[in-house]
Amino acid sequence: MRQLISTGSPWETKVGYSRAVIVGDTIYISGTAGEGPDVYAQTRAALATIEKVLTGNGFALADVVQSRLAVADFEHWQDAARAHGEVYGQIRPAFSLVHALPFVEDSILVEVEAVAVRTEE
């Protein structure tokens, strides 16, 4: 079964995507931006949104097996990586850090994606 998770963003219908898609015990979370004055704050906010999507759908942050950071200004990649490490330091998912062209809105400095597999204890 395929379950689509929506946040109600107008971009979802315009572009044709979901905030997340659950298939079986796996959730795929789309590129998520956060608000804030800098890359660090936006990364922390995006990761908080990802955690909210996870927990709201029966997953835990510890279920994340893959994470990707896309940073528009690569000069500040270390700030994004530091925020990522603070959240995922003990979980240590597979990880990619990519340099993106500017995002569709100039205020967006970073986006974070995640894939998580629900595990039973």
Each residue's pLDDT tens digit, 7-56: 888 889 999 999 999 999 999 999 999 999 999 999 999 999 999 999 99
Mean pLDDT (the chain) is 94
Determine the average pLDDT of the residues in 76-101: 96
How far is the C-alpha of 96 from the C-alpha of 74, rounded, in Å? 14
Give the Å distances, CA to CA, from 69 to 41, 79, 94: 14, 11, 11
Indicate the class that CATH gives domain 2-117.
alpha beta
Residue 83 pLDDT greater than 70, yes or no: yes
Average pLDDT value for residue range 52-64: 96
Calculate Rg over the CA atoms of the chain.
14
Mean pLDDT of 80-103: 95
Q: Buried b / exposed e across 44-68, counting CB within 10 Å, b at 16+?
A: bbbbebbbebbeeeebebebbeebb
pLDDT of 8 reads: 86
Q: Exposed, middle or buried, 40 (CB in 10 Å: 0-12/13-18/19+)? A: buried
Q: What is the mean pLDDT of residues 75-80?
A: 95
pLDDT exceeds cutoff 70 at 58: yes
The model's pTM is: 0.93
Which one, of 116, 1, 108, lies nearest residue 51 by Cα?
116
12: which DSSP letter?
I
